Structures are given as structure tokens and as C-alpha cells.
Amino acid sequence: MLKSLITASVLLGIATASLPAQAQTLCNKRSNVVLQLSEKYGEVSNGAGVQSATQVIELWSSQKTGSWTIIASRADGISCILATGR
């Protein structure tokens, strides 16, 4: 799990540094984001880390397809996609 958190941190840093501000996030209710990640992409949660008192960073991935997604889940029930890849 520590390896996943380190990987997520590095990827998050790269993703947020290289994208224009308007392209950095796509947000929706956490339940909708999780449903899409699991049903459409076959991804499962592989780790999470607390970013602040109101936000958790999560790494989702699929061993079958090789896809991965990093999301930030806020205390208000909203999750934002920060980075994706294969």
C-alpha cells in the first residue's frame, strides 16, 4: 500500500504540474465517479492517503486493462479526477 501511495503522490505532482488549470479536474458525486471507474473501466481502489482534513487522494486501477485513475475525494461527497493513464 505504501508503494501505491508513493506512486499516487508522484503521479499527482506530475499531473497537476503539466495540465492547464481548466483541464486539471473533472468532478462529480463520489458514488457516480466510483461507479464509472468500477463498471466502465474495471478499476478497483488500490490505496488512499489523507491530503487534508477534508480531502483524500485515491488510486484506482485495473490489473486486467492496465488503466489507472487518481481521484481526490472531498468531505462534501464530491470526487474529482486528477489524472488517468495506462
- Predicted TM-score (pTM) of the model is 0.70
Q: What total of structural domains would you count in the chain?
A: 1
Q: Give the integer Cα–Cα distance in Å for 40 and 4.
A: 22
Asked if 58 contacts 12 with a C-beta cutoff of 8 angstroms, the reply is: no
Q: Per-residue pLDDT tens for 14-53?
A: 444 444 444 556 999 999 999 999 999 999 999 999 999 9
Q: Give the integer Cα–Cα distance in Å for 34 and 63.
A: 17
